Structure 1
Amino acid sequence: MSSEKNPLSPRIDKNGNLDILIAAAECFMEQGYHAASIDDVARRLGSTKGRIYHYYRSKTELFFDVHREGMRRNFEAVTPVMKGPEPAAQRLSAMFRRHALSMMENLALEAVVVQGVEMHRFSATTPEQRRTLAELMTVRNDFESLFKRVAYEGVEDGTIRTSDVSVAVKVALGAINWLSIWYRPRPSETRDDREILADKIVESIMQGLNAPG
């Protein structure tokens, strides 16, 4: 995270080309990385594939930027509630809740984050790709560390009780990240519906930590 180039910085201007990333994320989620093609992304965009190749040399580079955007949204969701006067358990609960909502509201992007990196760790062949994958894995670890940091504070202030913070946080994030596998929004679903589901998930997680939800 401290390198000269922020690993979350996209190769392109997100504001002008976010639709490329969203279309690619939807293709990767629905078809899988190997089956989806640049042609598929272009068709979803209603454009030529030349527009995509103007910014990306390969499907792998496009995948990396989808991952970056998904992680950027994760950080953006949870960091505002990390600090404050509230007990650590309350802040950790808020972080889990925001992450769950981010998963549901950015489903295609987050599905790529959850399902894709491990696959690419073994399929990337160039030194540049391997360097990028290492950066992206570091970003994911940094994200997990945010939750560990607050959980340790909870152990110290007595609002969280667990024998192993690292395992507890991994289990909790795994439960939330699994939304990318089983969750699909209903046609009539509202923000309130997603908040209710997020609350139920977080309540179960916090009960496992012997802490108030």
Structure 2
Amino acid sequence: MARQKSRGEAMDPQARKVEILNSAARCFMEKGYHATSIDDVARALGCTKGFIYHYYASKTDLFFDVHREGMDRLFAAVMPATQAVGGPLAVLIAMLTAHARAMMDHHAFETVVAQGVQIHRFGATTPDQRRTLDELIASRDRFEDLFKDQAHAARAVGQIVADDISIAVKMMLGALQWSIFWYRPEADDGPDARDRLAARMVTTIIDGVRARN
């Protein structure tokens, strides 16, 4: 009689990596980078350490891939919003709303992205790790530039007032990213509730820079 395949054997390699990343993101979110071990990720996934090491040589490599996935998900959420209908302010609002929603939809991954910034600034890293972190932080800068460009366009037509667009955008994005500390997925009532919360968050932010007639 043919042997029944285990879950890991039945899945293709890409699906296995997705499972590892999801499990690792939750572990890093709950315990932080330094306190999380490969053992923790393996236990959460219900597999052996060897299964994890088949795909990742170290915890750091796994963390970097979770960070990279978190940024990919942010770009995937925001890029369609850059084509929103309306003037520059309407597009900026659509982008911020998409970002806010992505922070909730991918809470664990975006928490890891925030941890990556802290490690980049304060963590002890090897030269190779520093180079990888520099690449990841560069992707954050490109993400921020999307919003700066749109904010400049909105200011150019008098829809927002901001003396320093760079600071204004950092404050906008920082306010949304702070949701990793207070948003609780377990108390979530579903997609409609996340839409309403994202809209309220963005309205509060935009009201601070909207031009008054």
Instruction: State the alpha-carbon separation in 2 of the partners of residues 185 and 95 from structure 1.
Output: 22
**Number of residue-to-residue matches in the alignment:** 200
Displacement of 1:125: 3.3
Amino acid at match of 2:168: A
Q: Which residue of 2 aligns with 1:135?
A: 135
Q: Which residue of 2 aligns with 1:106?
A: 106
- In structure 2, relative to structure 1, the CA distance for the partners of 1:125 and 1:190 (3 Å cut) is closer
Residues 133-181 of structure 1 deviation map (CA, whole Å, 9 limit, x = unaligned): 1101101111000000100011112222211111110001000000111
8 Å CA contact retained: 1:89, 1:211: no
Q: Which residue of 1 aligns with 2:55?
A: 55
Instruction: State the alpha-carbon separation in 1 of the partners of residues 134 and 100 from structure 2.
Output: 25
Instruction: State the alpha-carbon separation in 2 of the partners of residues 148 and 30 from structure 1.
Output: 32
Q: Which residue of 2 aligns with 1:155?
A: 155
- In structure 2, relative to structure 1, the CA distance for the partners of 1:14 and 1:121 (3 Å cut) is farther
Instruction: State the alpha-carbon separation in 2 of the partners of residues 18 and 136 from structure 1.
Output: 19
SS for the counterpart of 1:82 is helix
Displacement of 1:86: 1.5
TM-score by length of 2: 0.88
Q: Which has the larger radius of gyration?
A: 2
Q: Which residue of 2 aligns with 1:68?
A: 68
Residues 4-38 of structure 1 deviation map (CA, whole Å, 9 limit, x = unaligned): xxxxxxxxx65441111111111111111111110
Q: Which residue of 2 aligns with 1:202?
A: 202
Answer yes or no: is 1:125 the counterpart of 2:125. Answer: yes
8 Å CA contact retained: 1:121, 1:130: no
Q: Which residue of 1 aligns with 2:79?
A: 79
8 Å CA contact retained: 2:66, 2:112: yes
8 Å CA contact retained: 1:87, 1:157: no
Answer yes or no: is 1:189 the counterpart of 2:195. Answer: no
Q: Which residue of 2 aligns with 1:31?
A: 31
8 Å CA contact retained: 2:161, 2:209: yes
Amino acid at match of 2:18: L
RCO greater where, 1 or 2, for CA within 8 Å and sep 6 or more? 1
Structure 2 residue ranges without an equivalent (≥5):
1-12
- In structure 2, relative to structure 1, the CA distance for the partners of 1:161 and 1:17 (3 Å cut) is same
Q: In terms of mean alpha carbon deviation, does 183-192 or 149-158 score higher?
A: 183-192
